[in-house]
Structure 1
Amino acid sequence: MTTLDWATVLDRLFDAPDDPATRSWAEEALAAGSGTPGQRRAYDLLVAGHDVIDLLAETPAAVAGLLAAADPGRITVAPAENEWSALHIVHHVADNEAVNAVRIRSILTEDTPTVFGYDSHPWTRFFALETWQDALERFSTARRNTVALARSLDAEDLDRRGVLSYRGAESLRVLLAVLAGHDRDHLDQLRSALAAAE
């Protein structure tokens, strides 16, 4: 019998989102608080039947829409001490997209590579190098490339695996699902940051 983990469960959900054993394991894991936020959110997206690549394609416009509707003065205001402002969130998703571009290409061109992991908080020291508008443009451009690449892949490509120190080995399709989950978490965070700054 295969021992289940988040990577295996998320892989199975692509083909069998209603599988009771897989769903049962995931629900118990969610109740126990295990897994990364991206893994937990990816589970929700897959169970709901969302197309991961479509979600990835939609995120830049969703971020841009939230920022366009906000009072410009709110974008730099953090909701509370040690929490990120909308500006921080936009810079983070741009940086994260750059990291995932390298991860995806490594998985596609190497045999089960160890892929780049990073602590995002120290990277905030670089956020002053560009405006949030430039960070959004950087994110949007990189994400268009990610989506185009993802849509060009076949099942064999999506089965390729990489190893992250904090998540373990996972297929490329799972990495993309977790990235979509990461997007959803930060969209929620962005909405909350903008609302709290009112």
Structure 2
Amino acid sequence: MEETEIGEVIGSSNTEFIAESSLLHNPPPFGSFIKVDGREPIYAVVINAYTHSLEPNRLAIAYHRSEQELRDEQPQIFELLKTKFEAVIIGHEQDGTIRHRLPPQPPRLHSFVHTCSPIEVRRLTSQLRFFRFLLAVEKAPRDELIAGVIRAAYTVRDGERSFLVHAGKELVRLIGDDYEMLSSILHRIQD
């Protein structure tokens, strides 16, 4: 099965990367699992997405028309817009095994980004060591991010209750006595 490219890496470090979405207004969902192509894939979680003008320091302006009306009347406007998304790296594959640690090298620029398959999500979430990476994120609300990741994994695991118990235990271990954060995450998972 051929994978569909959802973006291309345009900025990277060992801890995170930015990618330009293949389609305008269509980034991967917040909290979803994605991977970067390479000899050994790099796995990440989406932490932010945005659409902006290509011209630096210039905001888009309101035309008070529907998107379809704008596409019909002024299609060039959409050539000046790009959608980008940011992701935090949660691991990489080495010798066929997923390692929940940072890769030795950042993703290469212009590498393609794909959505992880359900099998890859199950492999990634069989152990939840990557929660530490998510707890260190400062660019997004951590409780929303962790809840989103747990919901995404739970969906792929067909509502496997033991996964929720495992995730809850790991959160208690990592968060400790921060009852506010734990409560916030649990409420967001239920929503």
Between structures 1 and 2, the one with greater helix share: 1
Structure with bigger strand share is 2
TM-score bucket (shorter structure): under 0.3
- TM-score with structure 2 length normalisation? 0.25
Decide which structure has the larger Cα Rg and report it.
2
